[in-house]
């Protein structure tokens, strides 16, 4: 008889776990996620936000099973979906998305790219020394092969495929593309994937913010497969609207809360300015290890980390909102997508305010969102209405409004160490906008 266990989850209640998931849970790569907070430093603003990437991964797996059952997928497809759901975050660095932009530039790949390589065995984010301590522990690709699953196939499901989201057929693919099971990838990574559904529900629960509540059962029951695409029956339109509204509100009220952003950017600057750092060394850490390592470095790293530890955070010195800026000024902000431009302005602001280096942080969140959450303004979901397909933003005026809505309350923000806030605020607008 197959071995099953039950896990009691805060969001979904009792979850039944089968042999495949149990074996994957025994890997060091998966257990490492229990030391990484799902929402990074958000607990400094929302004290309950201490849940981990492991909890989220299990929640995504639970949803993958529910969707597989709702769509009547066969057992082989279900195993692929469940595995990809569980493994989709194994490449995360400490504090989740907090260091994503910093490490992506240093390593040349984001957590999704690294996850794919970990699943196939090409990379390992467990140190050689720690792996030697558990010689019997199998790696992920070994567990998958034991269960007759192809690691490469699961790896391909985890990353967003351009073709899986396309609105028209690729000419060179023809009928082959039409016959592909695009819905498998879309369940894992798309504007309505299990990742987003779980993190909205879970993050709302742990932060206590009601914005993330969505009618997940109604939404899943209206999922369907049409010409190998994952679609939503028109009966589920209101549930889909609710999900996208929840996503927009959670970003503006939680994920991009100004104090959360300041704390996260303080940590990111401490890592960014760590001379001689091997970024893969940081990538393998968990949250507590990174904090200890930064404190042990002394100097700027220690100072910033202690400020985070005891919540003596930088304060807002300047904010530029879309409603306050003309198009020329907004256009100038795009230069901050280049880290060198952003660093230059931070250094200039320190000098203008006669503040020590590292006392000023410039935040241009749209640049990071392109890496950490490229789905944020995407609503290209297919709605099935009496056998015909219509896209969400055509079926719902709300969809069009959400695509044009600003994710954050500001386009650019400058924060400074507390003794220098007033001085920085006097020179920030001119330095940032060039006025």
Helix, coil or strand: residue 330: helix
Is the residue at 103 inside a domain? yes
Is the residue at 115 inside a domain? yes
pLDDT of residue 43: 97
Taking each helix axis from N to C end, the angle separating 151-158 and 111-120, rounded to the nearest 10 degrees, works out to 170
233-288: pLDDT as tens digits: 999 999 999 999 999 899 989 999 999 999 999 999 999 999 888 888 999 999 99
* Residue 394, burial from CB neighbour count under 10 angstroms (0-12, 13-18, 19+): exposed
pLDDT of residue 1: 39
**Lowest-confidence range among 86-90, 163-167, 203-207?**
163-167
* Residue 245, burial from CB neighbour count under 10 angstroms (0-12, 13-18, 19+): middle
Helix extents (H) in 353-412: 365-372, 392-395, 397-404
Q: How many Å apart are CA 120 and CA 159, to the nearest integer?
A: 13
pLDDT of residue 217: 95
Is the residue at 102 inside a domain? yes
Q: What is the CATH number of the domain that holds 133?
A: 1.10.3210.10
Q: How many Å apart are CA 356 and CA 341, to the nearest integer?
A: 19
Is the residue at 208 inside a domain? yes
Give 378's pLDDT tier (boundaries 50, 70, 90).
low
Is the residue at 126 inside a domain? yes
Q: What is the mean pLDDT of residues 341-368?
A: 93
Q: How many Å apart are CA 275 and CA 357, to the nearest integer?
A: 15
112-139: pLDDT as tens digits: 899 999 999 999 999 999 999 999 999 9
408-435: pLDDT as tens digits: 778 999 999 999 999 999 999 999 987 5
**191, 379 Cβ separation under 8 angstroms:** yes
Is the residue at 25 inside a domain? yes
Is the residue at 327 inside a domain? no
Give 101's pLDDT tier (boundaries 50, 70, 90).
confident
pLDDT of residue 162 exceeding 80:
no
pLDDT of residue 172 exceeding 70:
no
pLDDT of residue 122: 95
Q: Residues of 117-133 as b/e, b for ≥16 C-beta within 10 angstroms?
A: ebbbbebbbbeeeeeee
- Please state the domain count of the chain: 1
pLDDT of residue 376: 59
Q: What is the mean pLDDT of the chain?
A: 89
Is the residue at 108 inside a domain? yes
| Token digits of residue 45 | 């603003």
Task: Look up the domain containing 13 and give its range.
Answer: 5-254
């Amino acid at each position: 008889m197959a071995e099953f266990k039950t896990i009691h989850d805060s969001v979904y209640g009792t979850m039944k776990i089968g042999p495949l998931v149990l074996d994957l849970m025994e890997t060091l790569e998966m257990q490492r996620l229990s030391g990484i907070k799902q929402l990074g430093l958000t607990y400094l603003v929302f004290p309950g936000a201490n849940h981990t990437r492991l909890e989220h991964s299990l929640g995504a797996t639970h949803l993958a099973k529910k969707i597989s059952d709702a769509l009547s997928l066969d057992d082989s497809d279900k195993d692929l979906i469940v595995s990809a759901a569980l493994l989709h975050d194994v490449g995360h660095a400490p504090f989740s998305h907090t260091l994503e932009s910093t490490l992506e530039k240093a390593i040349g790949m984001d957590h999704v790219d690294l996850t794919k390589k970990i699943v196939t065995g090409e990379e390992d984010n467990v140190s050689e020394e720690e792996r030697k301590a558990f010689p019997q522990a199998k790696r992920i690709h070994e567990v998958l092969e034991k269960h007759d699953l192809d690691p490469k196939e699961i790896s391909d499901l985890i990353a967003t495929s351009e073709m899986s989201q396309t609105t028209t057929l690729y000419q060179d693919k023809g009928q082959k593309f039409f016959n592909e099971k695009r819905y498998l990838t879309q369940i894992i990574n798309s504007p309505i994937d299990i990742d987003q559904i779980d993190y909205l529900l879970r993050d709302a629960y742990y932060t206590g913010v009601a914005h993330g509540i969505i009618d997940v059962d109604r939404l899943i029951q209206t999922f369907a497969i049409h010409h190998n695409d994952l679609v939503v029956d028109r009966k589920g339109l209101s549930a889909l609207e609710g999900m996208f509204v929840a996503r927009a509100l959670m970003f503006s009220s939680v994920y991009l809360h100004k104090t959360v952003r300041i704390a996260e950017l303080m940590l990111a600057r401490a890592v960014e300015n760590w001379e001689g750092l091997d970024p893969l060394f940081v990538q393998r850490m968990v949250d507590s290890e990174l904090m200890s390592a930064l404190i042990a470095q002394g100097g700027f790293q220690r100072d910033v980390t202690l400020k985070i530890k005891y919540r003596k955070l930088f304060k807002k010195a300047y904010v530029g909102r879309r409603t306050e800026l003309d198009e020329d000024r907004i256009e100038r902000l795009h230069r901050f997508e280049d880290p060198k431009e952003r660093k230059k302005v931070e250094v200039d602001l320190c000098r203008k305010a006669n503040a020590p280096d590292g006392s000023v942080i410039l935040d241009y969140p749209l640049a990071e969102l392109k890496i950490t959450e490229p789905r944020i303004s995407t609503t290209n979901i297919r709605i099935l209405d009496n056998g015909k397909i219509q896209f969400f933003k055509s079926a719902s005026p709300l969809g069009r409004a959400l695509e044009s809505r600003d994710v954050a309350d500001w386009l650019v923000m400058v924060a400074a160490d507390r003794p220098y806030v007033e001085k920085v605020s006097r020179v920030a607008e001119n330095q940032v906008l060039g006025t």
